[in-house]
Amino acid sequence: MAYAEVFTALADPTRRHIFEALLECPKTVGELAANEVVSRPAVSQHLKVLETAQLVAVEPQGNRRLYSIKSDGLEDLRNYLDRFWSDVLSAYGAEISRRMNNH
Amino acid sequence: MAYAEVFTALADPTRRHIFEALLECPKTVGELAANEVVSRPAVSQHLKVLETAQLVAVEPQGNRRLYSIKSDGLEDLRNYLDRFWSDVLSAYGAEISRRMNNH
DNA sequence: CTCATTGGTAAGGCATGACTTACAGTAAGC
DNA sequence: GCTTACTGTAAGTCATGCCTTACCAATGAG
């Protein structure tokens, strides 16, 4: 039921960029910040949002923190869309039959 | 390639509510606004965002404007997620093999 | 023709969010 | 131990977004 946070998290271009960067392989905050235009603290804040949305996970490794993709958030979003998808199709069916009756 | 606008559009709770209301059947602006907490102009502005994201379509009917679901936006989002989904899985595979080598 | 209904747009206020710099804390290297 | 590297948090600034009221255009009803 966390699809709301997922929408919010992925609505931001920078957060999408960070998220997509993590698809390649797990990365530290510094590595992620090196590929972004914004500052490192900004990346930290974005990672916090992504973590709340269950899109990433952290694993402290000594001095550094290794961030990696967590599929839970995407799964929530996918379930939300799947539920909608059937509703959309049935809505189309209802609309079509409605038009066939009216026209 | 409009998934960015779709994320932005569906990140707002009111817009999600409007969008979900349209799943039942096409509705006019007044009907939609009657079921929302915000004012009618606010609903109009939300509908504009949803329309930009290819999530709804309009059909003027005399005095009124009938809004209905348009699946294009959801389809874009779905394609984006599908592409990610395979990447997520392959990323997991890489991560697993990486851990098997290291530990 | 006149008035009411419907709905989009403009302008302004206010809250939220994204970014920055500064600071604090913890682990690593010497 | 002392310094350096890595990262999260706090505080403040600035832009963006959402909402409101006011206004205007177009259609329908009488």
Average pLDDT score over residue span A36-50 = 98
Closest-lying nucleotide for A37 based on CA to C1': C19
- CA/C1' separation A8–D16 (Å): 15
Tokens of A70: 């967590």
Closest-lying nucleotide for B32 based on CA to C1': C7
Environment class of residue B84 by beta-carbon count within 10 Å: exposed (0-12), middle (13-18) or buried (19+)? buried
Q: Is the CB of A49 under 7 A from strand C?
A: yes
- The total of other beta-carbon atoms located within 10 Å of residue A26's CB is 19
Q: What is the pLDDT of residue B91?
A: 63
pLDDT over 70 (residue A91) = no
Q: Is B59 touching A (CB cutoff 8 A)?
A: no
Q: What is the pLDDT of residue A89?
A: 72
In order of their start, the domains of chain B are 3-102 (1.10.10.10)
Q: What is the pLDDT of residue B103?
A: 47
Q: What is the pLDDT of residue A87?
A: 75
Average pLDDT score over residue span A22-27 = 94
Average pLDDT score over residue span A42-60 = 97
- CA/C1' separation A17–C10 (Å): 35
Q: Which residue among A10, A23, A81 places its CB closest to the CB of B78? A: A81
pLDDT tens for chain B, 103 residues long, are 789 999 999 999 999 999 999 999 999 999 999 999 999 999 999 999 999 999 999 999 999 999 999 999 999 999 999 888 887 777 666 666 666 655 4
Task: Identify the H or E element spanning A67.
Answer: strand A64-69
User: Under the phi-then-psi rule, with left for phi > 0, alpha for psi from -120 to 50, and beta for the rest, what region is A26?
Assistant: beta
Q: What is the pLDDT of residue B9?
A: 98
Q: Is the CB of A42 under 7 A from strand C?
A: yes
Q: Check CB contact under 8 Å for A10 and B13.
A: no
Tokens of A44: 């930290």
d(CA B87, CA A17): 14
Average pLDDT score over residue span A69-79 = 93
Is A32:A67 a contact under the CB 8 Å cutoff?
A: yes
Cα–Cα distances in Å, from B44 out to A51, A81, B15, B51? 33, 24, 10, 10
Interface test with A, best of B3, B5, B7 (most A CBs within 10 A): B7
Average pLDDT, chain A: 90
